Amino acid sequence: MKIEEIIINKTAEAIQTLYNTPIDSSSVQITKTKKEFEGNLTMVVFPFLKISKKSPDLTAQDIGQYLVQNIPKIDKYNVIKGFLNISVSNSYWISFLNNALTEKEYGTKPVNANTPPVLVEFSSPNTNKPLHLGHIRNNLLGWSVSEILKANGKNVVRVNLVNDRGIHICKSMLAWQKWGNNCTPESESKKGDKLVGEFYVLFDKENKKEIEQLKQSGFNDEEAQKKTSLLQEAQTMLKKWEEGDKDVLSLWERMNSWVYKGFDETYKKMGISFDRIYHESQTYKSGKNIVQKGIENNVITKKEDGSAWIDLTADGLDEKLLLRADGTSVYITQDIGTAVQRFSEYSPEKQIYVVGNEQNYHFQVLALVLSKLGYQWAKDIFHLSYGMVELPEGKMKSREGTVVDADDLMDEMTQSAREISKELGKLDDLSTEEAEKIIQTIAMGALKYFILKVDPKKNMLFDPKESIDFNGNTGPFIQYTYTRIQSVLRKAAETGIQLNENIRENISEIEKEKEIIQLLYEFPDVVMEAGKAYSPALIANYTYELAKTYNQLYHDFPILKEENSDIRNLRIGLSLLSGNVIKKAMELLGINVPEKM
């Protein structure tokens, strides 16, 4: 039983004994003691004042005395303005450290493959452009949340829904037909996703020219945007695609194959993979069939022009279009089909959609529509909504070609890591091959950590230069701390010191060590909380705190040169578990740590 549970139970016993009144143990609140006060755990005694009929300080004194007398693992206590600060014995913390060092996967739970899975959908790219900075946050969040859920014992299936059809795809196809001169990725020496993305931008550029011409001839802006010949041609192409036109399908398959090859290269560089990939082109028809059944059951209304709508006004929303007048589907149609197909395939415990917060309303509607269509599991749909990523230069726009390409950003990070490592002389003793591998590890660690340390719900500013700093709350700082720990452990082994020696529990003065031990003790709770909150930021910032605290110990106290063998063994044990926890925590963020740097 954890010390917090023991204290909570004994506090309920104390209230009963001292004041002859039973309480629910859930009313006992315990937090970590703030650094400026003495102690390890702090109890709030204000909920008990009506029972004790005493002041906060006297009530805290009563409870503190009872706990010291009845829990051998508590050394002492102090009271500050009604807050009871409890000091847990050194022997308890060292006993914990000894036990944790024997656990191979300390802090995580084994995956239970026999339970219904949790489906985590992320990435979901459009096949009309390459992945960009916004996709990077999406992919990193989806991957990390999946790993954190697995660390909590969940049976996770990572899925990707590729948006490979629709008007945006047709815009790229039409532009290639008009101005591509039969070019290919090979003929242009470009990744296929980048080539297709250029034609998407070209369509927008030419379409804007038409809009201006129409406005000059008397149309207002809204009318001009709807009446361009380019947009009408793209809409005609979409209708032909849905009707199965062979020429349109052939071009669609050809250009999509270019994009998929490009995506695969980017995913590999990012360290991302999926257990199952769905394609909108394969799920939208089932969505249309489900909508048709909804029409037959009077849940969905078919209007005079042939369009299909569902009225959600009674639920505080609005009317939602599910099929256009020409019979073509809209975005939510395929999401309905995909959700139903996934449930039939996996019967999941939950379906989690990792999608930006601009789609909050969409997923609110999706869950409500599915519920009205009779799918009881719609309540288990969860939208992991995250904020937008901006650069110091401002927002990005795909149609205008001002997005930051994911490949270009990763290449830039690698070059920065190379230059900074060379400047600091961190890789001087390594071979070219070893150095290049570590440079890649540092670059991706910097990128991933900087994005994941921010609460997913918040918008964020990504600064490449700040992210790759070897000081401060960054991936490279944590990676360097890990390599420092491994260096200590290698030197210990070289001098014949046993790394797995049992640490004596009755060491008296270990204040700094105890601070690190308590951080290590908290790791399983941090993993559990990150799983509940779907927040890699909790893991990231915990890991920084651990790395920072270990570095303070490293700078202020000797480890291998410590003359007292008991304290030396304690610090080596601390180093070993700190290294293990940092490595595991970084794995949960999708980040590798080098053994040398």
For all residues of the chain together, what is the average pLDDT?
94
Residues of the chain with CATH 3.30.1360.70: 3-88
**Residue 253 one-letter amino acid:** E
How far, in Å, CA of 494 to CA of 433, rounded?
A: 26
Mean pLDDT of 571-581: 97
CATH of 3-88, one of 3.40.50.2000, 3.40.50.300, 3.30.1360.70, 3.40.50.150: 3.30.1360.70
Task: Name the percent of the chain in helix, strand, coil, to the closest 5.
Answer: 60, 10, 30
pLDDT recorded at residue 397: 47
Chain-centroid distance, C-alpha 339: 22
pLDDT, tens digit, for every residue of 44-58? 999 999 999 999 999
pLDDT, tens digit, for every residue of 347-402? 999 999 999 999 999 999 999 999 999 999 999 999 999 999 987 765 444 444 45
Indicate if the pLDDT at residue 242 is higher than 90: no
DSSP element (H, E) containing 87: strand 83-88
First vs last C-alpha separation in the chain: 40
How far, in Å, CA of 571 to CA of 503, rounded?
A: 9
- CA geometry: angle 124, 263, 404, nearest 5 deg: 80
How far, in Å, CA of 254 to CA of 184, rounded?
A: 10
What percent of the chain clears pLDDT 90, i.e. is strictly above it? 85
pLDDT, tens digit, for every residue of 473-509? 999 999 999 999 999 999 999 988 877 778 998 888 8
pLDDT recorded at residue 493: 92
pLDDT, tens digit, for every residue of 291-303? 999 999 999 999 9
- Angstrom CA distances, 566 to 31, 94, 181, 452, 519, stand at 30, 11, 76, 38, 21
Indicate if the pLDDT at residue 16 is higher than 90: yes
Asked whether the beta carbons of 48 and 4 are under 8 A apart, the reply is: no
- CA geometry: angle 590, 277, 280, nearest 5 deg: 130
How far, in Å, CA of 189 to CA of 260, rounded?
A: 16
Q: Decide if domain 406-588 falls under CATH 1.10.730.10.
A: yes
pLDDT recorded at residue 402: 53
Residues of the chain with CATH 1.10.730.10: 406-588
Q: In this structure, are strands 350-356 and 118-121 parallel, antiparallel, or unpaired?
A: parallel
